[in-house]
Amino acid sequence: MVKDMNLFRWLGVNAFRTSHYPYAEEFMDLAAEYGIAVIDESPAVGLQGQNFVNETLQHHLEVMHELIQRDKNRANVIMWSLANEPASNDPRSKDYFESVAKWTRILDSTRPITFVTDQHPGDDYAAQYMDTIGVNYYSGWYTYPGYPDAIPYTLSTWLEEWNKSFGKPFFMSEYGAGAVSGMHMDPPTLYTEDYQSAVLTNTWTVFDKYRQSFLMGELLWNFQDFESYEKSDRVNGNKKGVMTRQRQPKAAARLLRQRYLSLAQGYDTHTCPNGLLDYSQKIVYVN
Nearest Cα residue to 99 out of 66, 56, 40: 56
- DSSP β-ladder status, 283-286 and 37-41: unpaired
Q: Where are the alpha helices (DSSP H) in the chain?
A: 2-11, 25-33, 54-71, 92-107, 151-166, 193-210, 251-264
Alpha-carbon distance of 50 to 31, in angstroms, equals: 36
CB of 45 closer than 8 Å to CB of 85: yes
Report the C-alpha gap between 113 and 174 in whole angstroms: 17
225's CB contacts (< 8 A; 6+ apart) are: 181, 237, 238, 239, 240, 241, 243, 244, 245
Do the beta carbons of residue 286 and residue 34 sit within 8 Å? Answer: no
Which candidate in 55, 62, 66, 85 is catalytic?
85
d(CA 81, CA 117): 11
**218 annotated active-site:** no
Given a contact cutoff of 8 angstroms between Cβ atoms, the answer to whether 121 and 165 are in contact is: yes
Query: Annotated active-site positions, please?
Result: 85
